[in-house]
Chains A and B, each alone.
Chain A
Amino acid sequence: MRDFAALFETIDQSTKTTNKVKALARYFQEADPQDRLWTIALFSGRRPKRAVTTAKLREWGAEAASIPLWLFEECYPVVGDLAETIALILPSNSTTNTDSLSLWIRSLRNMNNVEEPTQKNFILNAWAQLGGTERFVFNKLITGGMRVGVSQKLMTRALAQATGRSEAELAHRLMGNWHPDDTTWHELVEAEDASADASRPYPFHLAHALEDGPEGLDDPANWRAEWKWDGIRGQLILRGGTHFVWSRGEELMTDRFPELARAVDDLPDGTVLDGELLVWRTAKPTPESFNTLQPRIGRKTVPRKLLKDAPVVLHAYDLLEWQGEDIRHLPFAQRRDLLETACAGLPPEAAVKLSPQLPFTALNDLHRYRDRARSAQAEGLMLKRADSPYLAGRKKGDWWKWKLAPLTIDAVMIYAQAGSGRRATLFTDYTFAVWDGDALVTFTKAYSGLTDKEFREITAWVRKNTLQRFGPVRQVAPHHVFEIAFEGIQASPRHKSGIALRFPRMLRWRHDKPMSEANTLDDLKELLRLYG
């Protein structure tokens, strides 16, 4: 565990990518192969099966620290991370245990099927034998989410340095459904047959945001345009007579979207599609809003009624594998032709649809499309170079997303609450209100969009202008106006204002606006009428 904790510390402390890559690459060369494998797994969000519930961890943590549970629960939101909270509240000690990372993981796994007293004993012992970062890392093995600023890109770069293999190949190898329990370092990284797993998806090609509009692009003839759908990006894999659905976050979603099972009959084996999962009811001209899709995301199994109310289709916009061949190297225009061929014979009730391209000849046509995007239930346009290969990750130049300007409203801050984790010492979470006659009614919270400097300024102001405290929440003097941006608006009986916003954030602090000039509830209702 010592080596891994040291690696974790180096990466965690470093702000420079090159240093992180260097430390990782060295670890991938020097560490025990089983530890390396687990390191890749942990940094890509995989973790050992949870041996102990977090409820038990809290209870035992509080007990080991000799503090009441309520106090533990108060510490947790301040720190923002359960594993770290426990590591901090326990009296400090130095590490006396020299077991390797994978040995610890094996011991943890053995805790899955034992009685609670044995589990407790094991955990308390571990806490007593591990200090500092190692204790934190141990807790993270249980709670998961070892986020440490290691992106997939960074990890593949380090692996490439350590093994001499190409980043693209490694990125593909690390995708999908593998788990350290079922593979080895050699199999995952080095073995020649990397396609053994039929479910393995390709890394997604991601677009950069086009901030200033399409005027900077070269000849329009080199570009293709599509709607940017507001659904879930998904990869549909048809191999070996069965199908798999992957999210962009590399989550296997096959069971959540049973509608797609019939694709096995509608399309030939050896096909991989990239597209958008949308709720789209038969004979409707546009898909439903993202809110309708939302209940489908959380459900691992789908009740029949929901299946009927919110039927999902995959709008395919790219073809990555055709007749069992990886065709990502082909130009987009050519992949698109093949995609159209593949979709030509689809019956009308198929769950896969061809996502249309938007014909245009001049840049001005693109502006017109974008102006209509909201009524098409799209969140903007995608612009793709006709000759672009399908790349792995976010690459600049070939694919652009040109999003709609968000909806905005000017609102008054009336409550503030301290953030957690990196923002524990700042007031960063605000509640906003608009005018309803002479009264201010709350309608949303927002946490992001300001600079650290602005958050510090507001924090100092909140301290001096607190009217009343409700636990961690401060009611502040209504004074500051913020422009709140959001992507969507809908009626919501759960909110006092009757309105729920999608992705609300602070676009800017309106120093120039007195609070009397903030927007009104009627303004919000008008937005709801137009866009809800």
Chain B
Amino acid sequence: MSRDPVLTFTPAGIYCPAGDFYIDPWRRVDRALITHGHSDHARWGMGHYLATHEALPVIRHRLGDISAEGITYAEERMIGGAKVSFHPAGHVPGSAQIRVEVAGEVWVASGDYKVIDDGLSTPFEPVRCHHFITESTFGLPVFRWEPQSVIAAQINDWWRTCAAQGKTAVLGAYSLGKAQRLMSMLDPSIGPVLCHAAIESTNAVMRAQGIRLPDTVLAHKDITAKTHPAAMVIAPPSALGSTWTKRFGPQETGFASGWMAMRGVRRRRAGDRGFVISDHADWTGLLSAIKNTGAENIYVTHGYTDNFTRYLNDSDWTAQVVPTQFEGENLDSAGSEGE
């Protein structure tokens, strides 16, 4: 008997034959189910988009005039012969794992996820399934995140020291998700929080949809160290060390990313300070997520795929590397923004 698998991996992306749709496709297709708004997941040019109500505003903001529809977490919907539902992935606000069921067989494409509650995104929920598609961006045991409160204290201490020395703290972070998460971790009593336009525009979209974010100031050209002393500036990594930051006077720069766990990377990229914080699951997070799905078959899509897959196979899962042209987020790959 030969039956189509529920999901298959094609050159255009993850495809569901029963529902004739793709998940996070990287080529133009008619119907795309989108896990979240990062540019390597939500791409331009699809005929029709389906994403969570929480994710859609940012996707529309980024992709412009698209044909798109929203869905509520856990709402079940039939697409062709496939029963589809979206479940919180905890990666960024609105991010989802996508559950697809055909004839009793359940697959989950988890997109990007983290299992800890960041206080901003709807927390990750394990979804029982037979087949689980996971990332492994940080799929090595050298990546173990400290609790968010510890990192928050580190960042606030740094900011406080900068402020006491008459310096501006400039923190590099990706504009969707990480930036807002960091904002919400800051102690507003230290000073004002200034955001680069790329970040402030995302803030505006999120505030408009009802997500509560702390007060921030758009760092337009008249905002300087003089008008806003003791400030924390949050900017995309590309703005760090550029002329854009000059107006903030004497300053220290920091960078917030899971890659900062490694001293070498920190020394190369962090400027003055590197903070180890990620919107992806660390080693223990990946393993607990996989375990909680109850799935036997694991598909590892990007990151340290070879080693992570071997480890899973040694630990009694049936795991395989999914060949993909899309390699996910890496500190140094062009256009990466999730990490």
A and B bind: yes
Show the binding face of A for B, using Cβ within 8 Å.
Answer: 12-15, 65, 67-68, 70-72, 74-75, 78-81, 84-85, 88-89, 91-92, 136, 420-426, 452, 455-457, 459-460, 463-464, 469, 471-472
- Interface residue? B187 (CB, 8 A): no
A88 touches B261 (CB 8 A): yes
A456 touches B332 (CB 8 A): yes
User: Which residues of B sit under 8 angstroms from A420, Cβ to Cβ?
Assistant: 264
Residues of A near B307 (CB, < 8 A) are 71, 74
Are B332 and A88 in contact, CB atoms less than 8 angstroms apart? no
Q: Is there contact, CB below 8 Å, between B146 and A92?
A: yes
Give the chain B neighbours of A92 by CB distance below 8 A.
Answer: 144, 146
Minimum Cβ distance to chain A for residue B319 (Å) = 14
Query: Which B252-275 residues have a C-beta within 8 angstroms of A?
Result: 259, 261-265, 267-268, 270-273
Q: Among the listed B146, B262, B270, which residue makes an inter-chain contact with A84, where contact means beta carbons less than 8 Å apart?
A: B262
B334 with A425: CB separation less than 8 A: no
A449 to B261, CA, bound (A): 26
Distance, CA A457 to CA B332, complexed state (A): 9
Going nearest first, the 10 A-B pairs with the smallest beta carbon separation are: A422-B264, A421-B264, A460-B334, A88-B142, A422-B268, A425-B331, A425-B332, A74-B307, A89-B141, A463-B327
Q: Which of B286-339 contact A (CB under 8 A)?
A: 304, 306-307, 310-311, 314, 325, 327, 330-335
Alpha-carbon separation in the docked complex, A374 to B273 (Å)? 47
Q: Are B263 and A84 in contact, CB atoms less than 8 angstroms apart?
A: yes
The residues of A that contact B330 with a CB separation of less than 8 Å are: 425, 459, 463
Q: Indicate if the CB atoms of A421 and B332 lie closer than 8 Å.
A: no
In the complex, what residue of chain B is closest to A459 when comparing beta carbons? B332
Q: How far is the CA of A471 from the CA of B304 in the complex (A)?
A: 11
B261 to chain A: which residues have CB within 8 Å? 88
A12-B267, A421-B262, A423-B268 known; A89-B142 Cβ under 8 A: yes
Please give the distance in Å from B329's CB to the nearest CB on chain A: 10
In the complex, the chain B residue whose C-beta lies closest to that of A133 is B263
**Is there a chain A Cβ closer than 8 Å to B190's Cβ?**
no
The total of chain B residues at the interface (CB under 8 A) is 32
Known: A13-B273, A88-B144. A422 touches B265 (CB 8 A): yes
A416 to B82, CA, bound (A): 41
Residue of B259, B263, B273, B304 most packed against chain A (CB within 10 A): B263
A residues in contact with B270, CB < 8 Å: 13
A424 partner residues in chain B, CB cutoff 8 A: 262, 264-265
The minimal Cβ–Cβ distance linking A113 to chain B, given in whole angstroms, is: 33
Interface membership of B140, Cβ < 8 A: yes
Residues of chain B contacted by A71 (CB below 8 angstroms): 140-141, 307, 310-311
Which residues of the partner chain B approach A84 to less than 8 Å between Cβ atoms?
262-263
Query: Min CB distance, B190 to chain A, in Å?
Result: 20
Contacts A14-B272, A71-B307, A423-B264; A78 near B140 (Cβ below 8 A): yes
A70 to B309 CA separation, bound complex (whole angstroms): 13
B142: A residues at CB distance < 8 A:
75, 78-79, 85, 88-89
What are 5 pairs between A and B in contact, CB < 8 Å?
Answer: A13-B273, A71-B140, A420-B264, A457-B334, A459-B333
Given contacts A68-B311, A460-B334, whether A425 and B144 have CB atoms under 8 Å apart is no
Question: Closest Cβ of chain A: how far from B236's Cβ, in Å?
Answer: 15
Is chain B's binding surface mostly helix, strand, loop or mixed?
loop
Known contacts A84-B263, A460-B333, A463-B333; 6 additional CB pairs below 8 A are A13-B272, A71-B141, A75-B141, A78-B142, A89-B142, A459-B330
Contacts of B143 in A (CB 8 A): 88
Residues from chain B with a CB closer than 8 A to the CB of A136 are 263
B contacts, CB < 8 Å to A: 140-144, 146, 259, 261-265, 267-268, 270-273, 304, 306-307, 310-311, 314, 325, 327, 330-335
Complex contacts, B268 vs chain A, CB 8 Å = 422-423, 452
* CB of B27, distance to nearest CB on chain A (Å): 14
Closest beta carbon of chain A to B1's beta carbon, Å: 33
Q: Which of A75, A81, A469, A472 gathers the greatest number of chain B CB atoms within 10 Å? A: A75
A452 neighbours in B (Cβ, 8 Å)? 268
Q: How far, in whole Å, are A421 and B263 apart by their CA atoms in the complex?
A: 7
Looking at A78, A455, A457, the one whose CB has the most chain B CB atoms below 10 A away is A78
Cβ B141 vs Cβ A471 within 8 A? no
| A85→B262 CA distance, assembly (Å) | 9
Expressed in whole angstroms, the minimum distance between the Cβ of B328 and any Cβ of chain A is 9
Report the separation of the CA atoms of residues A71 and B330 in the bound assembly, to the nearest whole angstrom.
Answer: 21
Q: Is the CB of B264 within 8 A of A80?
A: yes
Contact status A15-B272, CB under 8 Å: yes
The residues of A that contact B325 with a CB separation of less than 8 Å are 464
How far does the alpha carbon of A65 sit from the alpha carbon of B284 in the complex, in Å? 11
CB distance from B253 to the nearest CB of A (A): 10
Q: How far is the CA of A227 from the CA of B140 in the complex (A)?
A: 51
Cα–Cα distance between A15 and B240 once the two chains are bound (Å): 15
Instruction: Determine the chain B residues whose CB is within 8 A of the CB of A471 once the complex forms.
Output: 306
Residues of chain B lying within 8 A (CB to CB) of residue A75: 140-142
A508 to B104, CA, bound (A): 58
In the complex, what distance in Å separates the CA atom of A70 from the CA atom of B140? 12
- Minimal beta-carbon separation of A67 from chain B (angstroms): 5
Q: With the chains together, A309 CA to B154 CA distance in Å?
A: 61
A12-B263 in contact (CB<8A): yes
**Nearest neighbor of A19 in chain B, beta-carbon distance:** B272
* A79→B138 CA distance, assembly (Å): 13
B140: chain A residues within 8 A (beta carbon): 71, 74-75, 78
* Cα-based distance from A180 to B311 in the complex (angstroms): 44
Closest A residue to B334 using CB positions: A460
Q: Is the CB of A65 within 8 A of B141?
A: yes
- A15 B264 Cβ-Cβ under 8 A: no
Cα–Cα, bound, A463→B146 (Å): 30
Identify the closest chain B residue to A469 (Cβ). Answer: B306
Please give me the residue from chain A that is nearest to B339 by CB atom: A425
Within 8 Å CB of B259, what residues of A?
Answer: 425
Per the bound structure, the CA–CA distance linking A455 and B332 in Å amounts to: 9
Contacts of B334 in A (CB 8 A): 456-457, 460
Chain A residue at minimal CB-CB distance from B143: A88
Alpha-carbon gap, A393 to B141, bound state (A) = 42
Contact B314 A68 (CB under 8 A): yes
| Shortest Cβ distance from residue A120 to the other chain B in the assembled complex, whole angstroms | 20
User: How many angstroms between the C-alpha atoms of A471 and B263 in the bound complex?
Assistant: 24
Task: Provide the residues of chain B in CB contact with A65, threshold 8 Å.
Answer: 141
Q: Kindly state the separation between the CA atoms of A72 and B141 in the bound complex, as whole angstroms.
A: 8
Q: In the complex, which residues of chain A have a beta carbon less than 8 angstroms from the beta carbon of B306? A: 469, 471-472
Distance in angstroms between the alpha carbons of A67 and B139 in the assembled complex? 13
A456: B residues at CB distance < 8 A: 332, 334
> How distant is the Cα of A426 from the Cα of B314 in the complex, in angstroms?
28
Bound: A67/B331 CA distance, A: 26
